[in-house]
Amino acid sequence: MLSCNRGWNLRRAATIAFAVSVRETNERGKVRYPYYRISFKAGRPYKCRRTTASPEIPIPEKSTFYVIHPRDELGSRTTSLGRGLEKAFLRYRQFKANEQRKRRGLAPLENSGDGKSSKRVKIADAVANYLAELKETGWGTASRSARERALEDFKASCRKTFVDEIVREDIFLYLSWMKQNLRQSHFRRPNITAWGRLILLNTLLRQYGKARLLLRKEWPLTVKTKPTVYTKQKWAAIMDATIPQESDTDELIARKIEERIRLEFLRFTACLEIEAITAEYGDIDAERCLFQVRRKPHLNWQPKRLVERGIVLPADFVKRLLARRDANNCTGLLFPNTVGTIDDNFIGFLRSAAKRAQIRERVTLHKIRRTTAIDYTSRFGVANCLRLLGCRSTAMTTRYVSTEDMTSPSRRAELEEFFSKLVTR
């Protein structure tokens, strides 16, 4: 039924890939079945596309699925995984596990992908394979590290060896382990952490037929708190701390200048941390004064929801960025570390400025994003704020932007006038 189509997907496959054959009719009316590579979201099959320029389409459930092997001395090869997305995905994961074991010099698992019963999957192998997939699908270092810690903690709490041995009691044991071992601080909400870890564990176990061992109503109760933002006074104090003084050393002056431009960039763009640390001078459109958030294959990163967007920047700020580029003779990352690569301690600049400003509360980069979202929405509306943040959920964005402090002195006069009209005679 399927002709061996050696098109874009096969020529470009550098690693093992999950694909599906899709029935199509060409201009001459001839039926064909080209391969569509399957993309992933949160570790699960999401959609598929024919080429990098083609739009993504939903995965046809009843089509035939394939593994596309890396090109080697034998050329491009494919292996059928049969029909049915769930079974095919499990077999694909077994192929992936073998590929990872091969790279580490380990013997392959038995009977992967041939439809027969395969060797039982160890929990350690399942975790290692899941983390390897996160890296290949573009997850950032910080996100992968957090998930690795959570899954390693589950391995430490679980007394089982194989995935098929896991039962609901093991999930309760993990909850007990987290309660006793997770380091608590003044800012950490332990139940929120537990929820995130349980969602991650459920995602992993679902791929092996172990989903919903613990119902949501059995999860720890949580209290949602209001997202925090920077008040005008505190943000002004942080920015004032980045102004060089006559008594400052040359090293401190250089650091303050760098702190200021980084904080200005975050305040103007409301970018996520990963978007800021992967930002490059090539993303700046000087003519239109835009910062382009776009895919970075060379940095193994892609924007959230695979949607590129343009963010308007102040014209003066764009000129300063370009002048900074020319002065330092740089063409790569906007904010690299001291050796010119991605800065994994990007928040260090904010913490230094906040410390000099004598701000005792916890400072985060995401709080800058929420602060800008509030200001942006009050001036340009929720729809434009959605485009700025790159969000799809209006509910989440509304939660971000509905956090203005109504107890602030600047709001008191307006509230007094508002209340007086409610009880007029």
Residue 131 has pLDDT above 60, yes or no: yes
20-29: burial string, b at 16+ Cβ within 10 Å, e else? bbbeeeeeee
**Averaged pLDDT, 70-98:** 77
Residues 6+ apart with CB under 8 A from 274: 140, 142, 143, 301
37-46, 53-62, 117-126: which range is least confident on average? Answer: 117-126
Predicted confidence band at 133 (pLDDT cuts at 50, 70, 90)? confident
Report the pLDDT value the prediction gives residue 11, as an integer from 0 to 100.
39
The residue ranking higher by pLDDT, 330 or 324, is: 324
**Averaged pLDDT, 361-387:** 88
Report the pLDDT value the prediction gives residue 51, as an integer from 0 to 100.
84
Report the pLDDT value the prediction gives residue 365, as an integer from 0 to 100.
92
Report the pLDDT value the prediction gives residue 401, as an integer from 0 to 100.
61
CATH number 3.40.50.300 is the correct assignment for the domain at 232-401: no
Predicted confidence band at 137 (pLDDT cuts at 50, 70, 90)? low
Residue 288 has pLDDT above 50, yes or no: yes
Report the pLDDT value the prediction gives residue 192, as an integer from 0 to 100.
59
**Averaged pLDDT, 68-93:** 77
201-205, 256-260, 299-303: which range is least confident on average? Answer: 299-303
Q: Which of 145-154, 181-190, 394-403 has the highest mean pLDDT?
A: 145-154
Report the pLDDT value the prediction gives residue 138, as an integer from 0 to 100.
55
Report the pLDDT value the prediction gives residue 143, as an integer from 0 to 100.
74
**Averaged pLDDT, 143-163:** 87
| Coarse DSSP helix, strand, coil percentages of the chain, rounded to the nearest 5 percent | 50, 15, 40
Backbone CA torsion sign across 363, 368, 370, 372: positive
Report the pLDDT value the prediction gives residue 4, as an integer from 0 to 100.
33
Mean pLDDT, all residues of the chain: 81
CA angle centred on 186, ends 184 and 191, rounded to 5°? 50
- The percent of residues above 70 in pLDDT, for the chain, comes to 84
- The percent of residues above 90 in pLDDT, for the chain, comes to 27
Report the pLDDT value the prediction gives residue 72, as an integer from 0 to 100.
64
| Domain boundaries defined on the chain | 8-84, 124-218, 232-401
Give tens-digit pLDDT for 401-422: 655 667 777 777 888 888 887 8
Dist. CA 382–CA 377, nearest whole Å: 5
The residue ranking higher by pLDDT, 262 or 110, is: 262
Answer yes or no: pTM beyond 0.85.
no
Report the pLDDT value the prediction gives residue 276, as an integer from 0 to 100.
94
Predicted confidence band at 92 (pLDDT cuts at 50, 70, 90)? confident
Report the pLDDT value the prediction gives residue 8, as an integer from 0 to 100.
37
Residue 320 has pLDDT above 60, yes or no: yes
**Averaged pLDDT, 299-309:** 80
Which 3 state secondary structure label does DSSP give 41?
strand
Residue 290 has pLDDT above 90, yes or no: yes
Report the pLDDT value the prediction gives residue 1, as an integer from 0 to 100.
30
Report the pLDDT value the prediction gives residue 55, as an integer from 0 to 100.
87
